[in-house]
Amino acid sequence: FYYENPGVFEPSQLTEIKQISLARVICDNSDNIEHIQPDVFRLAKSNKEYLDCESPRIPRLNLRLW
């Protein structure tokens, strides 16, 4: 990926970027999404698999590194 090329991001920034999931992108950019399954490509077997978008299991991007 382009962002892994040397000099594009600091190592700490790259580490932060790599922890972001599609679930986080959907939570942050969709209207009225409050719960989501961590692996959005898998069909949830029950409602228990859904997490609140504020859950630490769906980490946010720490922008303090920029």
The residue among 37, 10, 9, 8 whose CA lies nearest residue 23 is: 37
d(CA 21, CA 42): 13
- Taking only the tens place, the pLDDT of each residue in 28-59 is 999 999 999 999 999 999 999 999 999 999 99
d(CA 36, CA 29): 13
- Ranges of each domain in the chain: 2-65
Q: Which residue has the tokens 């859904």?
A: 50
The residues facing 35 across adjacent strands are 52
Judged against a pLDDT cut of 90, whether residue 22 lies above it is answered with yes
pLDDT score at 32: 94
Amino acid at residue number 44:
A
Question: Which two structure tokens, joined as six digits, stand for 25?
Answer: 């992108």
Judged against a pLDDT cut of 90, whether residue 1 lies above it is answered with no
Mean pLDDT score of the chain, rounded to an integer?
94
